[in-house]
A and B are shown apart, each in its own frame.
Chain A
Amino acid sequence: MARFSLASQSVTLTAVGDTANMTDSGYAFFLQGGSSTMQLRVSEVQAGGESTSSATALMVFGRDSTVAATSISGCTNANIDGSSVAPGTLAVFGRVSTTKPQRSATLGHLLQHSFNAFGGLVRWQARQGEEITVIGNTASLGELSYSGHTGSSGILSAHCVYELVALAVGIPALAMIVKMVLGASAVGLVA
Chain B
Amino acid sequence: MRSLASLEGVLLIDNRCNDGVPDEIVVSQGLPAGSGRGIFEEACYTCSHCEAQVVKNRDRTRPRGFCKGCNHVICDACDARYHASSHQCVPFKAFAEEVRNAAEKGAADPIAEAEVYFHQRLIIGA
A residues near B (Cβ < 8 Å) are 18-19, 36-37, 39, 49, 54, 56, 58, 65, 102, 104-107, 109-116, 118-127, 129-133, 135-136, 138, 140-141, 149, 151, 166, 168-170
Contacts and interface: CB of A to CB of B under 8 A. Distances in A.
A171 to B, nearest CB: 10
Contact of A112 (B7, B31, B93, B101): B31
A168 B9 contact: no
A54 to B, nearest CB: 5
Nearest to B124: A106
Contacts of B124: 106
Interface residues of B, number: 43
Given A114-B29, A126-B46, A106 B110 contact: no
Interface of B: 6-15, 17-21, 25-26, 29-31, 35-36, 44-46, 50-53, 92-93, 96, 99-101, 103-104, 110-111, 123-126
User: Helix, strand, loop or mixed for chain A's interface?
Assistant: loop
Contact of B6 (A114, A126, A127, A141): A127
